[in-house]
Amino acid sequence: MSIGFESWESPVGRLYIAADETAVRALAFDANWSRIRASLGDVQEQGNALTRQTIAQLQEYFSATRQTFELPLHLQGTEFQRRTWQALQEIPYGETRSYAEQAASIGQSQAVRAIGHTNGLNPISIIVPCHRVIAKSGKLAGYVGGLAAKQYLLQLESRTPELRLL
């Protein structure tokens, strides 16, 4: 199965979307695209129906008309990574969780640092919403797209339009 990708200029910077005929494999920021691209194997720079559908849904998300994505996803990783990323998908739009809460949600309350590291390896940013995880203190903490992008995404989801501008 061949994997194609295309890039798209979003409000939070250039994003790379990779998909095969059956599932989205990656949605990456510039900062992690080379690592993720290497993990996918042979990837061709050409979009397909799923990359175009992903971009359409991202456009709706960024225009605040979409809260959930309806795309088939393929998350490749260890059992711990897949459970961590599944927990991210269970955080509702407009809400946040701490790294400790995410760790507890998968029954690994002592794995807070491992959760943070694994969130940073998330191959499908935004759709698998690692931006919704913040420090226990309520402050923003690490995000592969940068803290400004994380703040933008959280403000977009906060439903308070006056906060959307950075």
Task: Determine, yes or no, domain membership for 10.
Answer: yes
Catalytic residue chosen out of the listed positions 87, 126, 130, 144? 130
Task: Determine, yes or no, domain membership for 165.
Answer: no
Is 130 assigned a catalytic role? yes
Q: Which domain holds residue 24?
A: 3-62
> In terms of domains, do 56 and 23 share one?
yes
pLDDT tens sequence across 82-110: 999 999 999 999 999 999 999 999 999 99
Distance, CA of 47 to CA of 58 (rounded, Å): 15
Model pTM score: 0.90
Dihedrals phi, psi of 14, to nearest 5 degrees = -65, 130
> In terms of domains, do 153 and 83 share one?
yes
> In terms of domains, do 56 and 83 share one?
no
Task: Determine, yes or no, domain membership for 70.
Answer: no
Task: Determine, yes or no, domain membership for 67.
Answer: no
pLDDT tens sequence across 15-37: 999 999 999 999 999 999 999 99
The percent of residues above 90 in pLDDT, for the chain, comes to 84
Residue 126 contacts residue 61 (beta carbons within 8 Å) = yes
Arithmetic mean of pLDDT over the chain: 92
Task: Determine, yes or no, domain membership for 153.
Answer: yes
Q: Give the pLDDT score at 163.
A: 42
Domain boundary among 62, 88, 108: 62
> In terms of domains, do 136 and 95 share one?
yes
Task: Determine, yes or no, domain membership for 115.
Answer: yes
Number of domains within the chain: 2
CATH at 93 = 1.10.10.10
